[in-house]
Amino acid sequence: MELILIPIIAGVLAALAGKQSRWVALAGSLVSLGITLFWLAGFRYGASFQYVFDKAWFSQGIHFRTGVDGISMVLLLLTNILVPVILLSALRNDKRNAATLFALIVGMQGALNGVFLALDGLMFYIFWELALIPVYFICALWGEGNAFRTTLKFFIYTFIGSLAMLASLIFLYSRTPDPSSFGYEALLAVNLNHTEAIWVGAGILLAFAVKIPMLPLHSWQPDTYSEAPAQGSMLLSGIMLKMGLYGLIRWFFPLVPEALNVFGPVLIASGVIGVLYGALIAIRQNDMKRLVAFSSLSHVGLIAAGIATVSVEGMQGAVLQMFTHGVNVVGLFLAIEVIQSRAMTRNLDALGGIAKQAPVFAVFFLLLVLGTTAVPFTNGFPGELLLLKATFGYKAVWGILAGITIILCAVYMLRMYQFSMLGKPSGGIYLFPDLRWNEWMAFGILALLVLWTGLFPQYLLDLCGPAIQKTMKGILDSTGVVS
């Protein structure tokens, strides 16, 4: 509850605070980080929901019910770490109406926390939608180029998905025993026949697949990422698309286990093909943001495929990789923003030789590139290892195809790094000041996370382990598949 309210209130205050809004926003977001860490400290390892807050909301069947288990804890941690980092990186921002920007970012934190905390179907949906709004405004108001059209497409696209999910949730709701309830457990208890499960599942999946995005539903992503302001891209790619993946674990598979045999293969195929598709396209992109967008498509494809294997490795690897990918992609977008704000371009053809002028930045950027490339001792490695293993264990062919990503990812990431940072200074890059203190801090936090997760992934795995196992048991019990 407080994790939702405090950032939203901070957002309202920040909108009113004028010049001081950045500090208000940062404070609000840090307070909720503090609460998250406090919760983490008191977290009892186990599968049950903790810190439960429950109050009747719309009606007796629709509650405002929040709770944390290991899976949501990881994502809360991610959200509440990344949002302060994003705010920090934007602190020196002097865009028009900066106050509103900060307000929206911190408000978004509240909505995202709501998504990850929700234990009631309708509440989940409401925060799911609510999280879309700040980021929409951020992208539309401060975007570049044809931002309105692009963001509108993004909004309608995801909105259609969400509405389909709403329809599915309402269907499940109508099938709960009287008095109908949207409660998580009540929805889980609904038994569907195969046909129903496919329809209901398709609706829910549409919402998640658009947001993740899964392969054929991704076309909003590259345009949106590249035309959004840096903070928008970070929020979208760093946290928002995790909503979809989280949704797969928390809602989709547990709600329609009956249709696992249909959706599992579809998701894996879509994920793995997405892995290759995104990677192949990323190799030839010259716009850094677009490159990262397609790389992100590639990475989340693997995560989704891992989840869809419904194996311990796949799911835990997915949770781990969600955290990792969030950190890395935010870092990459931050690096791109650093480049763009100084060199006035992010076209790889026009860049080069930045490392000479900004060595500190170069090191941080390199670390993030390596993390994304899943080099051992960085955070990308353990998650990708688990995911590939899960995919390989599901079907060797998929595993091998997905494994090609470790080659292609190296190709495009290093290409990006090479063309932007290395080589001789070209174009207008003769004056490239190194990082400012706030950027330094933001990068520093991200770098620490990269190394920490890279070395000690077990901490996060332990956190989400019992909950994953419980979830998996729930799914497999319902399908009758013996694991």
Partner 1 sequence: MMQNLALIILSPLAGFLITGLIGKRLPEKVTGWLGSLAVLVSFVLSISVFNQIAANPAGMHQKLFTFLSVGSLQIDFALQADRLTALMMLVVTGIGFLIHVYSIAYMHGDAGFYKFFAYLNLFVFNMLVLIMGANFLMLFFGWEGVGLCSYLLIGFWYENAEYGKAARKAFVMNRIGDLGLLLGLFLIIFEFGSLDYHTVFEAAARGDHNLGVITAICILLFVGAMGKSAQIPLYTWLPDAMAGPTPVSALIHAATMVTAGIYLVVRCNTLYHFAPVAQELILYVGIATSILAALIGLKQNDIKKVLAYSTVSQLGLMFVALGCGAYTAAMFHLTTHAFFKALLFLGSGSVIHGMGGEQDIRRMGALKASMPLTFWTFLIGTLAIAGFPFMSGFFSKDEILAEVFVHNKVVWALAVGSALLTSIYMLRLFFVTFLGSFRGTDEQKHHLHESPWMMTVPLAILAILSIGGGLLNLPEIVGGGMAHTLKHWLEPVTGKPAGEHAISHGTELALMGVAVAMLLGAWLYTRNKYQSKGVVPEADEAQEGTGRLLSHKFYVDEVYDAAIVQPVNTTGEILYEQADRKGIDRIVNALGNLWVWLGGLYKKVQNGNLEYYLIFMVAGLILIVGFNLFR
Partner 2 sequence: MRSLLLIFLGAIAILFAGLGKKEIRMLPWAIALLLGALVFIPMDWIANEQPDWVNHIVPYFMMVFDRSALAFMAVIIIAAMLVLGLFGQREITGSDQLGLILFSLCGALILCSFTHMVMLFLGIEALSIPLFVLAGSRKKDLRSNEAAIKYFLMGAFSTAIFLMGCAFVYGGTGTLDLSVMQRVIPGSAAMGGMTGLAKTGVVLLMTGLCFKIAAVPFHFWSPDVYEGSPNRTTLFMATVVKIASFSAFFRLFNFAFSSPLAHGNWSFVLAILAAATILVGNIGALAQRNLKRTMAYSSIAHAGYMLLAILANPLESFWALIVYSLAYAGSSAVVFYILNKVQEKKGNTEFESFNGFGRANRWLGILLILALFSMAGIPVTAGFAGKFLLFSAAFTGFKWLVIVALLGSAISIAYYFRVFRHAFLTEADGDIIKPEWQDSVFLAIAATVLLLIGIWPALITGLQLFELH
Contacting residues toward partner 1, per CB under 8 A: 153, 156-157, 216, 218-220, 222, 277, 280-285, 311-313, 316-317, 353, 355-356, 370, 375-377, 381-382, 385-386, 388-389, 392-393, 399-400, 403-404, 406-408, 410-411, 414-415, 418, 421-424, 456-458, 461-462, 465
The one-letter code for the residue type at 450 is V
Q: Is 36 helix (H, G, I), strand (E, B) or coil?
A: helix
In angstroms, what is the minimal distance from the CB of 56 to partner 1? 39
The Cα–Cα gap between 225 and 333 comes to: 9
For residue 268, the minimal CB distance to partner 2 (Å) is 28
In the complex, least distance from residue 125 CB atom to partner 2, rounded to whole angstroms: 8
Cα 14-239-250 angle, rounded to 5 deg: 120
Kindly state the tokens that stand for 299.
Answer: 């990475």
Residue closer to partner 1 by CB (options 124, 155) is: 155
Which of 27, 126, 190, 460 forms a contact with partner 2 (CB under 8 A)? 126
Residue 126 contact among partner 2, partner 1, none, beta carbon within 5 to 8 Å by kind: partner 2
- Answer for which of 120, 129, 258, 337 binds partner 2 (CB under 8 A) is 129
**The entry of partner 1, partner 2, none that residue 166 binds, CB within 5 to 8 Å by partner kind:** partner 2
Contact residue for partner 2 among 43, 159, 440, 452 (CB under 8 A) = 159
Q: Which of 197/408 has CB closer to partner 1?
A: 408
Q: Is 246 in the site for partner 2 (CB under 8 A)?
A: no
Quick one: DSSP state of residue 259?
G
Task: Give the chain's length.
Answer: 483
Say how far apart CA 107 and CA 99 lie, in whole Å. 12
Task: Confirm or reject binding of residue 163 to partner 2 (CB under 8 A).
Answer: yes
Residue type, 42: G
**Alpha-carbon gap, residue 277 to 279, rounded angstroms:** 5
- Structure-block tokens of residue 188: 């889980």
Among all chains, which residue has been given the structure tokens 């975007």?
143
398 binds, among partner 2, partner 1, none (CB under 5 to 8 A by kind): none
422 binding partner (options partner 2, partner 1, none; Cβ < 5 to 8 Å by kind): partner 1
- Burial (CB < 10 A; 0-12, 13-18, 19+), residue 20, is middle
Count, residues near partner 2 per rule CB under 8 A: 28
Residues 6+ apart with CB under 8 A from 301: 214, 215, 270, 271, 272, 273, 274, 275, 277, 278
By CB under 8 A, name the one of 48, 59, 191, 458 that touches partner 2. Answer: 59
Please state the closest distance from residue 406 (CB atom) to partner 1, in A: 6
Per the structure block, which two tokens stand in for 137? Answer: 């405004």
**Closest C-alpha among 248, 254, 160, 265 to residue 205:** 248
Using CB under 8 A, list all residues that contact partner 2. Answer: 56-59, 122, 125-127, 129-130, 133, 140-141, 147-148, 152, 155-156, 159-160, 163-164, 166-167, 170-171, 173-174
